């Protein structure tokens, strides 16, 4: 039996990111997956800006962007199942996101390419995925967990660890062992996914096509030069035993306004919407699809799992390395479960409305959705609000035990706003993956002294219009967490607030790199 700090179960996007977050912080752990290798088929197609910001912290966001297609526009089309579809909206991600993030676009990057990329990054960090290793159950007490693992060679192993993290997908063994409820439902509609070549050549934009009963999304895939189609199978075909692209071609082509010249891959699946009733029991955590699953139409599922992994990774590292109080781990569930619940209910409502039948559905697609969008995007504030929501930049933790204070428009728990459009990049120091203090303007002498004594890196940025527009308060103190969220905002640069926060969570910054 081997004793390690963390056993990560599952090597999808959530497990790979959790493992990277641990490896980069030098936490000894193992990463097992029952599959024999990385996924062969892409599921998630969109990497949101917030995920790219996390990858910026890992130092490889630009590499990821270069492997995908940074789509600056999405075209929303309506009708046309039997011809005559029309564009009802053009969404410019660039217009909506410029100035808010270094990544003002939606990145089309298939999940299979994405997973292979992360596996390479993990290898560079010294971690190999242990494929063909299936968790069959585990037990825990106050000192740790014992996990029962069956290797595909027939070998059985017991792994002892301080913590177990179930990143093991929708059918999570970790969730089932913990006997957690996973309430929700299954959409009655059948989805399809296909890789196709279209006659008009490679198209870099995103297309969202809404029709009665059938919805179809089209994304560019750089690595294959093809388009990925994800959509709903027409209801009259959804009970067929076997289904191929030819069965739906006559409905899909007019809806998308394309001619398909080659079909590389076609598959169908059913989607669910569920959230587990807890994300943690004792020393066991669940992460990603193990804890929440939603309609793929919102493009949020994988990104939310990656956000969970980033959130949990730094907290585990701090506690295991004796650099923070164990109560840091108590904040994982409240920070992530609330967002998962609201996401599942919003994507469910939006999805149900968009594919609704009859006059109501048509009214929503043709009138309500375009009108709401047109009104919401008339002004910068509305454009930014939509981009922040879809890109997951708006995720914040106002009620977290770790969130304290407000300065300007920035509250404890908010994502640190990006001020780097025309100025020094305030996200660059986040690559340390560690705690840091930021001041935009002048840092007071007593704060400088306190940070030096605490060994907390203090970053000073010149006061700028960008900082003001981002809601930052001049000369305020922002204590920034290792995941780029604000822990403490102090308008008065209060050293007392800083030191009492540090002692409350027993934070040690020794060894924090700049
Ligand atoms: C068609 C489709 C399109 C989608 N589009 C999007 C999108 O555009 N954007 C988006 O954000 N999301 C999208 N999603 C959702 C996204 O694919 C999932 O949210 C994502 O895969 C979840 O990642 P995960 O790592 O949590 O779980 P998974 O990817 O399911 O990984 C689970 C891992 O656990 C391992 N495992 C399972 N059981 C065990 C066990 N007992 N022992 C050991 N290992 C185990 C598996 O081998 C695997 O490695 C889409 C989903 C589908 C189906």
Identify which of 21, 30, 34 to mutate to test ligand 1's pocket (most ligand atoms within 8 A of the CB): 34
Strands 477-480 and 206-210: unpaired
How would residue 422 be classed by pLDDT, with cut points 50, 70 and 90?
Answer: confident
Q: What's the gap in Å between 282 CA and the centre of ligand 1? A: 24
Protein residue whose Cα sits closest to atom 2 of ligand 1: 43
- pLDDT for 2: 58
pLDDT digits (tens, 9 = 90+) for 166-212: 999 999 999 999 999 999 988 888 889 999 999 999 889 988 887 76
Residue 292 has pLDDT above 80, yes or no: yes
Q: What's the gap in Å between 39 CA and the centre of ligand 1? A: 9
Q: Which two tokens stand for residue 138?
A: 């585990």
How would residue 266 be classed by pLDDT, with cut points 50, 70 and 90?
Answer: very high
Q: What's the gap in Å between 169 CA and the centre of ligand 1? A: 5
pLDDT digits (tens, 9 = 90+) for 460-497: 999 999 999 999 999 999 999 999 999 999 999 999 99
Q: What's the gap in Å between 464 CA and the centre of ligand 1? A: 42
Euclidean distance between CA atoms 93 and 91, whole angstroms: 6
Collapse the DSSP code of 117 into the 3-class scheme (helix H, G, I; strand E, B; otherwise coil) and give the result: helix
Q: What's the gap in Å between 14 CA and the centre of ligand 1? A: 8
Percent of the chain that is helix, strand, coil (3-state, to 5): 35, 30, 35
Protein residue whose Cα sits closest to atom 47 of ligand 1: 35
CA nearest neighbour of 189 among 74, 357, 368? 357
Q: Which two tokens stand for residue 133?
A: 């290793």
Q: What's the gap in Å between 13 CA and the centre of ligand 1? A: 7
Closest ligand 1 atom, residue 173 Cα: 41
The mean pLDDT value for 262-279 works out to 92
Residue showing tokens 């029962």: 148
Other residues' Cβ atoms within 10 Å of the Cβ of residue 368: 12
The mean pLDDT value for 315-334 works out to 97
How would residue 512 be classed by pLDDT, with cut points 50, 70 and 90?
Answer: low
Average pLDDT, the chain: 90
pLDDT digits (tens, 9 = 90+) for 224-234: 889 999 888 88
- pLDDT for 454: 97
Euclidean distance between CA atoms 20 and 46, whole angstroms: 20
State how far the alpha carbon of 196 is from the alpha carbons of 264, 265, 445, in Å: 6, 7, 62
Residue 273 has pLDDT above 70, yes or no: yes
- pLDDT for 50: 97
Q: What's the gap in Å between 321 CA and the centre of ligand 1? A: 30
**Taken in order 480, 305, 277, 271, is the CA torsion positive or negative?**
positive
How would residue 382 be classed by pLDDT, with cut points 50, 70 and 90?
Answer: confident
Cα 464 off chain centre by: 30
pLDDT digits (tens, 9 = 90+) for 97-122: 888 999 999 899 999 999 999 999 99
Percent of the chain with pLDDT over 70: 90
How would residue 56 be classed by pLDDT, with cut points 50, 70 and 90?
Answer: very high
Task: Name residues contacting ligand 1 (CB within 6 A).
Answer: 9-15, 32-35, 43-46, 111, 134-135, 167-169, 173, 193, 230, 269, 288-289, 296, 299-303, 305
pTM of the predicted model, to two decimals?
Answer: 0.94
């Amino acid at each position: 039996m081997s004793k390690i700090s963390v056993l990560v179960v599952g090597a999808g996007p959530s497990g790979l990111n959790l493992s990277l977050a641990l490896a980069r912080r030098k936490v000894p752990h193992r990463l097992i997956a029952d599959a024999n290798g990385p996924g062969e088929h892409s599921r998630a197609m969109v990497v949101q800006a917030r995920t790219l910001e996390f990858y910026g912290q890992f130092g490889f966001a630009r590499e990821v962007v270069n492997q995908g297609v940074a789509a600056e526009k999405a075209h929303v089309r309506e009708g046309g199942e039997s011809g005559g579809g029309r564009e009802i909206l053009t969404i410019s991600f660039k217009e909506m996101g410029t100035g808010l993030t270094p990544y003002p676009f939606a990145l089309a990057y298939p999940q299979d390419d994405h997973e292979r990329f992360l596996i390479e990054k993990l290898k560079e960090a010294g971690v190999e995925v242990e494929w063909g290793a299936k968790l069959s159950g585990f037990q825990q007490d106050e000192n740790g967990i014992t996990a029962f693992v069956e290797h595909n060679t027939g070998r059985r192993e017991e792994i002892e660890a301080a913590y177990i993290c179930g990143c093991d997908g929708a059918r999570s063994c970790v969730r089932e062992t913990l006997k957690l409820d996973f309430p929700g439902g299954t959409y009655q509609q059948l989805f399809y996914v296909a890789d196709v070549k279209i006659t008009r050549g490679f198209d870099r934009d995103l297309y969202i096509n809404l029709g009665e009963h059938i919805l179809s999304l089209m994304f560019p895939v750089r690595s294959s030069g093809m388009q990925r189609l994800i959509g709903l199978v027409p209801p009259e075909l959804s009970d067929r035993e076997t289904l191929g692209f030819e069965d739906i071609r006559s409905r899909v082509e007019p809806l998308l306004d394309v001619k398909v010249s080659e079909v590389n891959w076609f598959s169908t699946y059913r989607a669910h919407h569920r959230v587990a009733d807890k994300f943690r029991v004792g020393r066991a955590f669940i992460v990603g699809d193990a804890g929440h699953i939603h309609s793929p139409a919102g493009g949020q599922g994988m990104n939310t799992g990656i956000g969970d992994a980033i959130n949990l990774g730094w907290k585990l590292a701090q506690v295991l390395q004796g650099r923070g109080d164990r109560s840091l781990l108590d904040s994982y569930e409240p920070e992530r479960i609330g967002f998962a619940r609201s996401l599942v209910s919003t994507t469910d409502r939006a999805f149900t409305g968009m594919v609704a039948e009859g006059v109501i559905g048509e009214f929503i697609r043709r009138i309500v959705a375009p009108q709401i969008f047109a009104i919401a995007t008339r002004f910068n504030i509305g454009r930014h609000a939509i981009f922040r929501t879809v890109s997951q930049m708006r995720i914040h933790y106002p009620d977290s035990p770790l969130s304290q204070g407000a300065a300007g428009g920035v509250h404890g728990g908010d994502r640190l706003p990006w001020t780097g459009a025309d100025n020094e990049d305030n996200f660059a120091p986040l690559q340390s993956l560690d705690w840091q203090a930021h001041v935009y303007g002048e840092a007071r002498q007593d704060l400088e002294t306190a940070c030096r004594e605490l060994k907390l890196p203090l970053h000073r940025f010149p006061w700028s219009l960008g900082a003001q527009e981002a809601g930052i308060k001049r000369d305020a103190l922002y204590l920034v967490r290792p995941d780029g969220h604000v822990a403490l905002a102090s308008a008065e640069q209060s050293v007392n607030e800083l030191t009492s926060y540090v002692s409350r969570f027993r934070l040690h910054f020794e060894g924090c790199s700049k």
